[in-house]
Copies of this chain bind each other. A is one copy, B any other.
Amino acid sequence: MNNKQKIYFFSQLQTDGDQNMVDILGGKGANIAEMCKLGLPVPPGFTLATSLCSDYLKTKSLSTSLKKNIKKNIAKTEGIIERTFGGSNPLLLSVRSGAPVSMPGMMETILNIGLTSKTIPFMIDATSGNERFVYDSYRRLIMMYADVVMEKALKLNKSSRPIRELMEKELDSIKKVNGYKNDSNMKAKDWKVLSEKYLKIVKKEFGVPFPDDHYEQLYGAVAAVFESWNGKRAKEYRSFEKISSSMGTAVNVQAMVFGNLGKNSGTGVAFTRNPSTGENNFFGEWLPNAQGEDVVAGVRTPHPIIDEKNSNKSLSVALPKAFEDLKDVRKRLENHFDDMQDIEFTIQENKLWMLQTRRGKRTGIAAIKIATDMVKEKLITKEVAVGRVRPVQIYESLLKNIVAEDLNNNTPVSSGLPAGPGASCGSAVFTAEKAEALGKKGKKVILIREETSPEDIHGMHYSEGILTSRGGLTSHAALVARGWGKSCVVGCQDLTIDKSHRFAKIADKKIKEGDQITLNGSSGDIYIGGLRLFQNPLDNVGPLSQLLSWADKIRKLKIRTNADTPEDCERALEFGAEGVGLCRTEHMFFDEKRVHEFRKMILAQDKKSRTSYLKNLLPFQTKDFYKIFKKMDGLPVTVRLLDPPLHEFINIQRKEMKNLANDMGLSLKLVEERVESLKEANPMLGHRGCRLGVSYPEVTSMQAHAIIGAAVRLKKEGKNPKVELMIPLVSNLKEFLNQKNIVLEAKNEIIGKSGLKINLKIGTMIEIPRACLVAEDIAKEADFFSFGTNDLTQTTFGFSRDDTGTFFPHYFNEEILSVDPFEEIDRKGVGRLMKMAVKDARAVKNSISIGICGEHGGEPKSIEFCKILGLDYVSCSPYRVPIARLAAAQVEI
């Protein structure tokens, strides 16, 4: 190893670097070195360290001593491969960049360096007269070199068109003249003619000839790789990803091997396990008589490495010896790296050469399967397995997806914000009523709306997916969709819906009611027509539950769920929830019969009639809570009292107003006036939450009676309900006390009759900045806190989640925001308030239970923050419970 020159040699025999030297050798170089150390068949070569990059960028030249050192390493390479660079048995080289982090926008590869007018004849000899191969290689070299080295370095291209285009035009013209369909029809002489034309184009465009000296080619390529570190796209990418620009890229110079020397040659890519399913099968594709480029270009269809039908096109049948070698390499790589690898290989006349290995990307399903399998195979520990699966992969593993073929063959008509991941497909409908009507008949529908409101809930329930033209990632549609695990795309600015509710337009494409439409809620893409979907089976005794059971042993944060119905609770329990962190009582009112009764309560003119309407609702609510507490027996259930502004319930048509007027013995005009008077300028900051409970104490009282009544009934049946009654939107101790007293009164009324002891805590949601600021006061009286970070984020930023759609895109474009604070907790602002609240509350009541029930409760980075804050639990929608279980474990690792 030559420290002074910082060039690291690698070969099967001797290697300077290893996999830990990523900073010096780049990712690619480090992995190549490691393969060499393992004794795998890697074409020899050497890596120019990243530090040489900044040296070059200072002087814009390769120093004499560096060149000398390169030559020394070429000599070592020659010695091992037994060919000579520029000699009569010519060694050709590849030059590849390789930064410590994967980075698009940099020059990647130049192949076949060393082909000159002098070495071409030798090369033809060395390949037993394979003139076609040699000229094909030569024209590739000229094009790549002209494009990436000369065009950028010389900047002399007078033509308005890039050099690559000019050259491709020549190739097309030869093919046309000769009536060739594919490049494979090209004959040796055709490639030769083309090469000559290329040389002329280079001369004409750059004013200098294509370098005919092998070292000149090599130095030019190395310099171009270094130069590309400061390319426009690379710089932008670094600035965006906050990658230091002083890092530099390494350069890998390696002996060429050829997969296109005939039927005993070939090239391929493979994964050591199936990256889609995770199954422990060797999974890959290869092409006989081809170079890597050909596999990537997609002109020829590659064959599987192992074909179930044992087709003779499979590598195992076609080149069994090389296949056996490859199988052996696969096993050694997995044993060494303890992870699934993504590899590239070339077979040159039956001899296997390994060109690359790296950690293989995989689907969620595969990540889980591989991690758990590897524990069974004793390759990794349970902790490593838990740490290796990204939380979002769990979510992915449970979703519907568009079949890959359909995904490739269709172009989205437009896109919106990916609000509810997973794909969905169905007939377009434009009203909740229609969605419900068709959905009840078992028809799959996609509900398309400007935005949704609680009035649309029944229709959303029957929809496969939801598409809106307005709203952000935490708009009503998005929240409901994620809560139910439904596919959803929101804020599609190209979407306009006709007021007739019979058709819509997306970017000038008309969609009529009943037309098929497909949403990809993971990407935000929207497709016209019905694309095929698939879903991986959820296997509760399989790898996922295995992995999560390990996670459960590691994590300390409890995981609860946000669930409003016994069905939600059931699903959440299946996913491993340890309680309900948020049960929203308002959703219970949306049943047709009840909402009518509830509306009467809202429109009541006095307390007496209001109380009588509430009395009608009491048995319904009691039954709701009974069922939920029963389902969650022995586990805590946090029930939030009525929260949304009342007018959300009376966003109704004239017909229902008439019904209500008749039913209540009021004039229609009076009902209309009352409905009108309930409208608010800023409902989010209006008459809602505990403010309703203060104005209408009878509502709080009814809900308290229902909750406590249900608990008492279960207690009498020998069950163990654990009730946490939560008062929403508190910003002031006195508000809390006002409501707490109503609840305690209800308790005394009920318990007085039953004589039972029930497990009842009374706490509050911390979702207003002032609640954080006076947490010390509130904590003295509250049994628990639960952060409502959706609303807390809204008020801390002054952002209405329903209105961010208009300015958030600009905020992301202008890099004012890098992440959506409604997705990931804003630690600096919202987080500072939370920290104050936790500190002040614990200072007066160390035992106070504190959790979070906002959408953030299911987001891994936010879960990490909750752990840092010292919260007791996080609560999230049922579908996010598995994610949270994993994320909470990873925080501890």
Contacts and interface: CB of A to CB of B under 8 A. Distances in A.
Nearest to A810: B695
Nearest to A683: B682
A868 interface: no
B731 A807 contact: no
Nearest to A685: B800
Nearest to A829: B770
A496 interface: yes
A680 B803 contact: yes
Given A681-B684, A803-B686, A798 B729 contact: yes
Nearest to A496: B673
A89 to B, nearest CB: 61
Contacts of A768: 796-798
A814 interface: yes
Contacts of A810: 691, 694-695
Interface string A822-835: 00001011101100
Nearest to A687: B806
A251 to B, nearest CB: 37
Contacts of A799: 685
A794 interface: yes
A681 B680 contact: no
Given A694-B810, A694-B814, A738-B814, A794 B685 contact: yes
A802 interface: yes
Interface in A767-790: 767-770, 773-774
Contacts of A451: 681
A683 B803 contact: yes
Contact of A694 (B677, B680, B816): B816
A694 B807 contact: yes
Interface in A654-707: 673, 677, 680-687, 691-692, 694-695
B791 A770 contact: no
A229 B685 CA distance: 43
A230 interface: no
Nearest to A692: B807
Contact of A806 (B686, B729, B815): B686
A802 B680 contact: yes
Interface string A733-758: 01100100000000000000000000
B806 A695 contact: yes
A19 interface: no
* Best-buried of A681, A729, A829, A832 by chain B (most CB within 10 Å): A681
A470 B673 CA distance: 13
B803 A681 contact: yes
A795 interface: yes
Interface in A436-490: 451, 470
A811 interface: yes
Nearest to A767: B798
A732 interface: yes
Contacts of A729: 798
A475 B496 CA distance: 34
Contact of A816 (B732, B828, B832): B732
Contacts of A683: 681-682, 800, 803
Nearest to A694: B810
A797 B731 contact: yes
A453 to B, nearest CB: 9
Given A795-B796, A807-B691, A814-B738, A802 B681 contact: yes
Interface residues of A, number: 53
Contacts of A795: 685, 769, 795-796, 798
A622 B749 CA distance: 69
Contacts of A794: 685
Contacts of A816: 694, 732, 734-735, 738
A732 B833 CA distance: 15
Nearest to A729: B798
Contact of A769 (B687, B694, B811, B833): B833
Find the residue from A677, A817, A829 having the highest chain B CB count within 10 A.
Answer: A829
B684 A685 contact: yes
A630 to B, nearest CB: 35
A800 B680 contact: yes
Contact of A800 (B682, B731, B732, B811): B682
A546 to B, nearest CB: 42
Interface string A366-409: 00000000000000000000000000000000000000000000
A620 to B, nearest CB: 26
Contacts of A830: 770
Nearest to A821: B770
A779 to B, nearest CB: 14
Contacts of A833: 769, 773
A734 to B, nearest CB: 4
Interface string A490-504: 000000100000000
A313 B535 CA distance: 104
Nearest to A732: B816
A681 B800 CA distance: 8
Contacts of A806: 680, 686-687, 695
A585 B683 CA distance: 27
Interface string A255-270: 0000000000000000
A612 to B, nearest CB: 21
Contacts of A828: 773-774
Contacts of A770: 796-798, 826, 829-830
A806 B816 CA distance: 37
A465 B123 CA distance: 99
Contacts of A673: 496
A657 to B, nearest CB: 16
A149 to B, nearest CB: 38
A794 to B, nearest CB: 6
Contacts of A691: 807, 810-811
A826 B694 CA distance: 20
A767 B798 CA distance: 9
A774 B829 contact: yes
Nearest to A736: B816
Contact of A685 (B685, B694, B731): B685
B802 A682 contact: yes
Contacts of A470: 677
A419 to B, nearest CB: 16
Contact of A686 (B496, B773, B800): B800
A817 B833 CA distance: 23
Contact of A773 (B682, B685, B796, B803): B796
Given A681-B684, A773-B832, A829-B731, A798 B807 contact: no
A803 B832 CA distance: 28
Nearest to A735: B816
Nearest to A678: B806
Given A682-B802, A773-B796, A773-B832, 9 more contacts: A681-B800, A684-B798, A685-B685, A685-B795, A686-B806, A691-B811, A694-B814, A695-B810, A731-B798
18 contacts: A680-B802, A681-B802, A682-B683, A686-B803, A687-B803, A692-B807, A694-B810, A694-B811, A695-B806, A732-B817, A734-B814, A734-B817, A738-B814, A769-B833, A770-B797, A773-B832, A791-B798, A795-B796
Q: State the 7 A-B residue pairs at the shortest beta-carbon distance, nearest first.
A: A685-B800, A682-B800, A686-B803, A681-B802, A770-B829, A768-B798, A769-B769
